[in-house]
A and B are shown apart, each in its own frame.
Chain A
Amino acid sequence: MQIIKAENVSKNYGDLKALSGLSLEVNEGSAFALLGPNGAGKTTFVRSLLGLTRCSGNIQLQGLDVFNKKARLGLAYLPEKFNFFSYYSVEGVLAFYGKMQGLDGSQLDESIAKALDALNITELRKKKMDKLSKGQVQRTGLANLLMGDNKILILDEPFSGLDPIGIKDLKVLINKLKAEGRTIFINSHILSEMEQICDQVAILNKGNCLVQGSLSEVKGSKSLEDAFYDLVKGDEK
């Protein structure tokens, strides 16, 4: 079943074509990587997917129009630069997310403890957001993804701001979430990491989808980096 379906999506910012007739399909339970160079339209697509921006065409989440709030039930989103109200503690942020996802009481407490543990930030529990380092803030954002039984996780450049330990931890976490059957949609340009965690790939350039398919179909016998380079450079020519 396709959990994300985009048909002929276009978006212009003045004369600039951010997305040009883009069509994508993401299967339930897959780890999908949306790849592309800077300015390819990746973030615009993620924003369209969340109903943050209007574009022509049709985008459906869980079979519903993205502007229908029910389409976002069981969805968790991590922006590139996670930020939340500075006066919230790490625990407070997780509690807010958990409650928004319908958790309460002991279920909420349990989820908070698990999420803190999974991201190795239990000792930061009571720390306020404005007292955290960049990496700790990003880990808190990642912990939010674990609050509630989210079916779709949308991650926008999740590796940015993480140190090598954080990157390794995140890869383990994503693989664990994938094994649990969750759909993971990642927007990134760090190809080496994507090759290790994703099973479906789409490559964008200048708002167009150059290729979409399983990782093995897209890269063939090459590395993902080489396949990406050849496709994007070929498109530029």
Chain B
Amino acid sequence: MRRFQLLLFNTIQKEFRSKTLVLITIITVAVILLINAGLNFLSKEVLSQMGQEGAAQGTTMALIFIISKFTSLLAIIFGVNCIKSDIETNVSPLLMSFPISRFEYLAARILGSWIIIMSYYLFSVVIAQILLSSSIGSIVGGPHLLGAMFYTALSNLIVIMISAFLGLNMPKIMALLMTSIVTIIVTGSNMFLKGKEWAEMTADLDFFPIVALGFHTFFPRMGIIDDIGRNILLQKEIDLNIAIELGHFGLTTALFFFVFYYLFNRREI
């Protein structure tokens, strides 16, 4: 356990120095400041139409949406690099010569990247909340934000796993592109089949519906998880069985990780 913790901390140290993280954090803070300044400038006009608090709430939602997209981008970049960079710099044989299993190594690298990504997300959301609340003079948002953040965290964990897996099997740029494509396909499949009964899903099966059904059944449903998070953020009603969706997500994520581990375990380092 101690060695796992060391490796986890090593991953956080490694990713924390990423120039991409610094750049995206700067851009995020700039976007937050810009939107906040815009809100202050427009507040008198907007206030008359939707009320100052309503404007702040709307802005918060927009900002969190933007931050979520940046977070997904970071998750893809960090995921691709988290194991690939060890192999490229020839550090992996050294790390593997310690008494740690490949399972621990893989878990430490993925979890460490996820912690960094979520720290960025949390930092950006808190900054946005503080600035907007101070502009408006009262606290915007509420506990529902935590719920939305939980679902974003889940969704990003699987994005990191997919990109780490693809990063090991193809060049970096290709892996970045492929992760984006896979994410779009999975999300699209989830949205296409969302809320449908099994009989409805399997009726009139053509090539594309079969592909969509395959992704929807055997892959973690990122699209559904994002959708739940979005609905919580917008305080809309959720017309899905959350327990079933979370159960499916947990099971398929574990399955994906074990397939990843199995292939990684057979790989030459």
Contact = CB atoms under 8 A, between A and B. Distances in A.
A interacts with B: yes
B101 A100 contact: no
B96 A84 contact: no
A99 B97 contact: no
Interface stretch (B56-64, B86-94, B200-208): B86-94
Is the interface on chain B under 10, 10 to 19, 20 to 34, or 35 or more residues?
A: 20 to 34
Interface in B75-104: 89-91, 93-94, 96-101, 104
A54 B266 contact: yes
Interface string B96-136: 11111100100000000000000000000000000000000
A72 B98 contact: yes
Contacts of B91: 83-85
- Majority secondary structure of chain B interface residues (helix, strand, loop or mixed): loop
A131 interface: no
B217 interface: no
A99 B100 CA distance: 13
B14 interface: yes
Given A53-B268, A96-B6, A100-B3, A83 B99 contact: no
B6 A70 contact: no
A73 interface: yes
B96 A99 contact: no
Contact of A77 (B94, B104, B268): B94
B215 to A, nearest CB: 31
A184 interface: no
Contacts of A154: 97
A5 interface: no
B192 to A, nearest CB: 41
B7 to A, nearest CB: 9
23 contacts: A47-B268, A50-B96, A52-B96, A69-B99, A69-B101, A70-B99, A71-B99, A73-B99, A77-B93, A77-B97, A79-B90, A79-B93, A79-B94, A81-B90, A82-B94, A85-B14, A85-B91, A87-B13, A87-B17, A99-B6, A100-B6, A100-B100, A101-B98
Interface of A: 47, 50-54, 69-73, 75-77, 79, 81-85, 87, 96, 99-102, 154
